[in-house]
Structure 1
């Protein structure tokens, strides 16, 4: 939570907009679709007709697909949102198009944090990206933010595992199973690569497991995700004097 928003009544703050894929599955607190995840109001729409397969495809998006996201974003703007986030890290491929066509700031992906993460790290370190599908998240996604493919390690949980069963097949959500699966991926990455300096979670549904993931690798490895991205994004959209500062000096 942004320090400047702590202790404030969320109903006094302007809303952030959220565009989700047009699919339905369980979204617990910690998932960006769940309004209880955020320390500020959230208004949500789905991009009608969009599918998981379309979003995680390789390469650029079709114009019709992008049009559906623009239309959804305009509906959020009409409802008064001050900025817009989206529901999948793969949508970094739509960042420039949506930012150009919508009248409020847009942050499509947790991957947008990568340049800042690398700035925090020693030059010898790389970033491990845990993604929904490592067969589809490729070099073109990292090119959107100027990050060389050789600077990251990308890995995903298996297609038949707990996380992907929930999203792709509407399977039962069991937090402990998903947290254990993602923690195992993170631990194996660090065992395989000693030069990892940070972990970035691409998939928005991974936010809810960030604490367990960090505990599995140790406190010296920062973990970033869609939640850290959106909280930073919102903190610049809506500036509030932190309550701990008290009134301005006279």
Structure 2
């Protein structure tokens, strides 16, 4: 996927005054054709991912049975080194729009992430990984869903967003040495456009579409998200060769053009 510029002028956001960093920004193009596709095969066609082999190297950690489909924590991981996976896409074949999220990974990002998603009904969760040479691999996991997480009732509240971030170095272990864990929580309603409020009326779609993670002024994660990401989006990423005191910024924008910014430094 070609590198996108989500927030114009923010590639050096760590060095900018806060008031300047928060100026109005221009959004990149959200991949409408893939995210609005109604079937998994249509998503695969949009991504040009056909006849994709299943790879035992890819692991999906998720509950076998999800009591509440509105919040299902999922971990996707590959044993490959940082820089060996260009993109991770997450799909749920039984969702009204199967493509949940797409993550373009920089050379310092391990092919491992954690997020929380919505599942409409029982079906297969699909992790689709793309290598820098364009080749695709996939893994699938069946999940039983007891309660629809995509079209139930939702709270209708005035919009107010905030962000919490933490970046801390991990002890040497299975992921290797000099690994930093980055956790992000963004307060956002993530309305699907298919849920009803307390009066039984459909609530308009309102969801985060674009997110970038910027390390010392360089984009290292370029994400697109759809309505299948849970309320108050949560992400964990793992970064290689990041130093104490390095500055990590996160910038996001939603389908209404609203946007947010946060930053943290790597610390114990």
Classify the TM-score, shorter chain: under 0.3
Bigger strand fraction: 2
TM-score (norm 1): 0.28
TM-score (norm 2): 0.26
